[in-house]
Amino acid sequence: MTYIFVLTALFILELLYFKVADHFNIIDKPNERSSHTAITLRGGGVIFYFGALIYFVISNFQYPWFFLGLTLMTLISFLDDIFTLSNKLRLLIHFSSVLLMAYQLDLFDMPWYYLLIGFIAVVGVINAYNFMDGINGITACYSLAVGALLMIVNDQQDFVAQDLLIFTLLGVLVFTFFNFRTKAKCFAGDVGSVAIAYILLFALGLLILKTGNLLYILFLAVYGIDAVWTIVRRLYLRENIFEAHRSHLYQYLGNEAGVNKLLISFLYGVLQFGIGYLVIYFSSKSVQIQLIFAAFLIALLSVIYLILKTYIINTYLKKKV
């Protein structure tokens, strides 16, 4: 009954947000870099934060430093969705939020390189997660896949409050209802993609710290492969990697190759869930076997990615030129 109540409350909150967004004209207008063609409400992903907020309140304020960081990250991202804030201000808030997460994870009590590695990893993944939010349903499907994997492991390892994951994913389900459509009612916006990345990374960080097993980072393998190889190619072409673009594989598949975008989003989620399930299986094996599995998986995904992307570029993009 609690979950039904929370789901209902989140639906109502999302509908109320639509009223606010419509009143204040919080919209996403398509441009030459967009993968959509219609004006759409932006920021519907704020519901992820509300899911976490409900948990925070009813849990008697568990994980306070994490939640403070999440609030700062969500607020600055929401304001940036509306006003386009200066990069310096956004970076300052992001930096503070990541440090707050690190404090909640007790990284300050560990050797300094834990903090450095953790900081670089969190900032990199949050930005990659944000960049990957480009077509209907991809943030929803991928987040459901990663969240479900974390819940499966949490049932065995008990590294985080399960309701934090459940309440957040209920928010993702609400967003999915309005976003996983040919003509989406809303987009996640930076506020959504950044918030869900922050939440999932916190849970993933707790899992890695408790088990001491870095293999679980492959719960983000699909996004990681697409993001890293896209950055490598853009650097090779001497493009500004911080400028908006639509050169990720999923964008090429949807925009140039004409594959159904909802199918692409669904497959990204299913593929990540399948990989994650293999990760869970191999996590109990020896370190040597885990390393072989990780190397093979990354190499296989990279080869498939590069072949597919090269084919699309040679078949579709060069014809346009």
Region of residue 43 (phi > 0: left; psi between -120 and 50: alpha; otherwise: beta): left
Residues 88/120, Cβ–Cβ less than 8 Å: no
Q: Which residue has the tokens 């999932």?
A: 200
**Rounded CA gap, 238 and 173, in Å?**
39
Which amino acid appears at position 268 of this protein? Answer: Y
For Cα atoms 99, 57, 94, give the angle at the middle one, nearest 5 degrees. 20
Stretch 12-33: mean pLDDT: 82
**Structure token pair of residue 46:** 């704020």
pTM over 0.85: yes
Q: Is the pLDDT of residue 72 over 80?
A: yes
Read off the pLDDT of residues 111-166 as tens digits, 9 standing for 90 and up. 888 888 888 889 989 988 988 887 899 999 999 999 999 999 999 999 999 999 99
Reported as a pLDDT band with limits 50, 70 and 90, residue 37 is low
**Structure token pair of residue 158:** 């008990």
Domain range summary for the chain, segments of one domain joined by +: 2-28+41-218+260-284
Q: Is the pLDDT of residue 257 over 70?
A: yes
Stretch 175-183: mean pLDDT: 95
| Average pLDDT of the chain to the nearest whole number | 92
